[in-house]
Chain A
Amino acid sequence: MAVSLGRGAFQIKEPVYITSYAAVVGKKEGEGPMGKCFDRVETDSYFGQKTWEQAESRMQQETIYHALEKAALSPDDIDIILAGDLINQCTSSTYSLRPFGVPFLGLFGACSTMAEGLIIGSLILSSGAGKRCVAATSSHFSTAERQFRFPLSYGGQRPPTAQWTCTASGAVVLDTQTENSPRISSVCIGKITDLGVTDANNMGAAMAPAAADTLTRWFKCSGKSPENYDAIVTGDLGKIGGKLFAEIMMKQGYDVNPCYHDCGAMMFDAETQDTHAGGSGCGCGGSILCGHFLPLVKSGKIKRMLFMATGALMSPMLVQQGESIPSIAHLVEITGE
């Protein structure tokens, strides 16, 4: 059972374990400082497919297979798959999962999808509605550029606040039995937050208030504080958003700096890889959680962490209409055994 701690915040009483996880990334991500932690680095950005959209689906599919393989499972062992991505109508996920034949819920939470999947998955499992489920997400630089920005060969200059959509995917298998694995102990669902940022080239700044709102709410309703955690991790705020997030938290009376990490800031070396404010995309938080943080929890180096994936819930159309960018951040507390 999940016990409510406050609006949208739950403690997961029946243990939900993270049995296995996998991360697959593209070439540029593989060349970055985190390159060694991923299960696979694919140098062909088309992943052997004909279009970018097919490439992203293929990458997500491979990631899920990887995660299943590590737990010696097949798609038939899975009760539900929760997956989402950035592309219109969630097609990277639907085409990726088309051959699986597993009950599927498509998610859209922009880059917060990994945490959204983990939250829904753990609530479903703890309610007894299933034994095993998969949460997965992906993003691809080229599909995101096509959908949100300019053609790939268009000669544009990115402003210093811009972030680089990661070609990356992460998948997690959750179950209720595999002890001695990291477990999801609590979750907190984010609220839509909008402090009026209209610049689509500064997503980190648009999303930072959402992350701060969720974390502040979590600390208030759980009675915990940054000292309770070995790591507080945001998904893809990047360097600028990460700084703003820590600043807002400070103004709320919480100093997160000693244990704060951001997957977007970790993914690339901004100097040599020309990625400006850092990485972004659903796959950024997803792949670094699965490639870097979950292994650390499993090995006991991290005892308790918070993973907060952040998402900018915008579309180019609404930005062109002059709207500001609403954002969201979902929180998952992961505890080692």
Chain B
Amino acid sequence: MKITPELYKDMTEQSAPSSKSYVNIPLAFLIGGGICLLGEVLLNLFEYFGMEAETAGSWTSVILVFLSALFTGLGWYEKIAKHAGAGTLVPITGFANGVTSSAIEACTEGWILGVGSKIFTIAGPVILYGTAASVIYGIFLQIFKCFS
């Protein structure tokens, strides 16, 4: 009997175990929520010391990014992420993990073409398309301004 690609597609779909979403989603919720809670604590702490909301927000980002880079370097981030999934991917710490892990990995190829050119392999698209989307928004705003 001939196995056609269509028949085989059905066979593979049946054989592949599905992700354990009943574990994954609650874990992503808990750990992701925990990281956000830490962010909220830091925000309030900085505001308590008299910072403006915007400055407090920037410092919170810097601290979270630092912690993520440290955990990544020590090899802990990956161990948590294995269970947390999107819980460690979606917060800004996930962005920092993408940058740091690419940088650490590339250091055997030197500082310029290794670390220098590969540091944004994972995080690059986030910056590029985030910026591009915001520029489109800016163009709309500016055009709107010209007509009003």
Binding site for B on A (CB under 8 A): 50-53, 146, 150-161, 195-197, 202, 205, 209, 212, 240, 243-244, 247-248, 251-252, 274
Contacts and interface: CB of A to CB of B under 8 A. Distances in A.
B148 interface: no
A157 B21 CA distance: 12
22 contacts: A51-B108, A151-B121, A153-B101, A154-B122, A155-B78, A155-B94, A156-B89, A157-B81, A157-B85, A158-B82, A160-B16, A160-B17, A161-B16, A195-B4, A196-B8, A205-B12, A205-B16, A240-B16, A240-B17, A247-B11, A248-B11, A252-B1
A248 B3 contact: yes
A150 B77 contact: no
A155 B8 contact: no
Q: Which of B16, B73, B102, B122 has the most CB of A within 10 A?
A: B16
Nearest to A157: B85
B90 to A, nearest CB: 11
B85 A244 contact: no
B97 interface: yes
Given A205-B12, A247-B11, A248-B3, A153 B77 contact: yes
A202 B8 contact: no
B3 A209 contact: yes
Interface of B: 1, 3-5, 8-9, 11-12, 15-20, 24, 72-73, 75, 77-78, 80-82, 84-85, 88-89, 94, 97-98, 100-102, 104-106, 108, 121-122
A195 B108 CA distance: 38
**In terms of DSSP, what is the predominant structure of the interface of chain B?**
helix
A243 B97 contact: no
A153 B104 contact: yes
A42 to B, nearest CB: 19
B8 A146 contact: no
A150 B106 CA distance: 11
Contacts of A152: 78, 101, 105
Contacts of B78: 152-156
Contact of A202 (B16, B18, B77): B16
A50 B82 contact: no
Given A151-B104, A154-B97, A155-B97, A160 B3 contact: no
Nearest to A50: B108
Given A52-B108, A151-B106, 9 more contacts: A152-B78, A152-B105, A154-B97, A155-B81, A156-B81, A160-B16, A197-B12, A243-B15, A247-B11
Contacts of B12: 197, 202, 205, 244
